[in-house]
Structure 1
Amino acid sequence: MNASPAAFEARLKTNAREIETLLDALLSKGMREDEIARPEILRTAMHYAVLNGGKRLRPFLVVESALLLGGDKGAALRVGAALECIHCYSLVHDDLPAMDDDDLRRGKPTVHIAFDEATAILAGDSLLTYAFDIIAADETKLPDQSKVALILALARSAGLGGMAGGQALDLAAEENTPDEYGIVTLQSMKTGALIRFACEAGALIAGASTDDRKRLRAFGEKIGLAFQLADDLLDVTSDATTMGKATGKDISRGKGTLVALRGIEWAEAELRRHVEDATQLLAPYGDAAATLAATAHFVADRKN
């Protein structure tokens, strides 16, 4: 139950192109109904933040999870685009001097460097808001009940008890290094919550059973843990050129990671365990889940 590496890469790239085409249209100069104006500097900063490269992994998971369960691809692409807006907003804000203070993102100047801090803050705010607009809009062809469920799940994943809360814990970790449970909690929120949503969203789009929703949610949780472990390993084994951003910053700031706490060998073994657990969750779907299974391996094996 696995897609070939070449087939997987081709599918990932195709999805990325589709998502980027949609995001480009959503962030065009053309105003939507009830908008008063689109200030050009803000629109340009949002466009720069979102269309700045990246694998579009989260939208890919939305689309593939939806297709696995018979969901509509057009609706999945729009939900995926909304999720990518949330993800990119978080990167814009994480890079700010008051947060992680990074000058590079995907090998390019971060938004507050390319523009200015105030514009970067507003770009992040606007991307966050726009995500819910995209899901709620008439162009997203889903029943209202499904839209409400998606908006609620995304809000819970992105806010106080999810990604934003995880960033708060991450900032606090610079002062007081958390224990292993604290690190896992932090990472499950900051990184894992949106990946979990991406997989669960597919079931919501497809109107699938509660069992399917729980299974894909669990799959998302596992690959979210794997993603962060792989990230932490890359932070100590890779370089800025390969990563497209500064490396080694967590260690220099004294932040706790599982790699720092338990060592590289342990982390590599734990990473493989998460991938195995994730693929086992997909076993009931057989070959139909080959692409999602390949995604779990891709998350662990990526180089940036």
Structure 2
Amino acid sequence: MKRLLLLTFLTFLVTIAAAKNKVEKFGKSERFISEIQESLTTEHSVWLRNHHASKSGNPIEPGIKFLAHHNIPSDIPLIPPPGQLVATNQFGIKCDQGYTGDFCNIPVCNKMANISTHFVPAEGEAIELATSYECNDMITFPVDNYVYDIVITLYSANGGMPSGTLSMLNGTAIRPDEALNPGGDMRYYSLFFYGLSEFTGPGYYNLQLASESIAPCSYQITTQTNAVYDTGFVQSVNDDNIQKDIYRPWRVLKEPIQNTANYLGAKLSGVLQPAKPEVVTFLNGDDKQYAPMTLGIRYQCSSPYVSPMKCLSTSLHVYLWR
């Protein structure tokens, strides 16, 4: 009897240990499936709306309107009011309120906020999101050393049964570890590649789209990575509060306010080598709305009189009008 109880107890321990070691693969959780389907459905509907507008000759309404500084209405202040923040640069020149640097063109933060680094392994980071007109395009995308696993998900609203083939630039095809219809929905098709950068190395990869029927399909490439961006809009170039409390996968964390001057701020985290964002491109659906813009640097200082070289570069800002 004791021996039987001991064997039963050992079997129980083995079962518990196996359950603990069983980790759900990236891209398999119900939350990920729900979020990826919402993301692709939204992308697809925006693309169709813009496509039909273009065919009918109607202008595509931009999601965000960009204005040069000289076109900004006079009632929108470009700098904080006098008396808030004045800095003297290294040449002894007193800059306008809220600015510093050799040319008095670098904003100084006077509304510092803790920009928390999000890391949600279950959702990962979206590195590509677009739509192919006939679901037959070749997409080239980069993979760096920070990438662990990759999930490529395709969506066709018309049930065109989309699929894809991943290959290296030399043409070598890479077999997916798994391929399935997430959630059992035949409009979606996912390819899973585990440890891509580890086994085949970082670099550029090609994704060849295909479909059983000629129909548009949307696709998203999502990766599990420690290198993440936290982005959001603020209404002052000197404000750091770009986040909300709730993380929404693959979106800016704070939307711009309509009919108000907005700045896009971003923080890059999780990189081992020194790195910073340099360019931002605005898209309407997958249509490029503006040419890539060079990003500025914003210094976060505890005092406006601290030398800029001692400040921490944290944010990028582009002037926007929505």
Higher helix share: 1
Task: Establish whether TM, by shorter chain, passes 0.5.
Answer: no
- Larger C-alpha radius of gyration, 1 or 2? 2
Aligning the two structures, in what range does the TM-score lie when normalised by the shorter sequence? under 0.3
